[in-house]
Amino acid sequence: MSFPISAGLLDSMVLAIVSSEDTYGYEITQTMRKAVDVSESTLYPVLKRLQKSQMLETYDKEYMGRNRRYYHVTSKGAAQLSNYRSEWVEHKTKVDSILMSDAIGNKEKIKEEEEVLPQEA
């Protein structure tokens, strides 16, 4: 892909996934891979980092006779996520203002895309 995914973007996407519902490693990796081309091995460090900075906490739940580790967004993580979201909207708007500037016919398209963005920001 032409546009590299930054660490901050990975963090915010993982936070967003977990914030909608407590979930486990495999599901997080699968959700991420739907949107961006990241290796499954990239997400372990991201989750560790978010735990270390107390954005995420974990608990174990039994599933089919084994433990499954669930991730939960802390209040600190939720605050950070909302920061990330407003930063992203700002970033996206600025990039679009240049990248999409001569696409006069596409203005409605941009509007549609903006509406798809998370509304909580």
- Binding residues for another protein, rule: CB under 8 A, are 1-8, 10, 24-27, 29, 37-42, 44-45, 47-48, 66-69
Shortest CB 112 distance to another protein, Å: 26
- Contact (CB, 8 A) for 108 and 75: no
- Contact (CB, 8 A) for 18 and 72: yes
Identify the residue whose tokens are 């290796």: 39
The smaller minimum CB distance to another protein, of residues 69 and 107, is found at 69
Shortest CB 90 distance to another protein, Å: 14
Burial class (CB in 10 A: 0-12, 13-18, 19+), 31: middle
* CA 101 – CA 95 distance, rounded (Å): 9
The smaller minimum CB distance to another protein, of residues 24 and 100, is found at 24
Shortest CB 58 distance to another protein, Å: 10
The smaller minimum CB distance to another protein, of residues 41 and 75, is found at 41
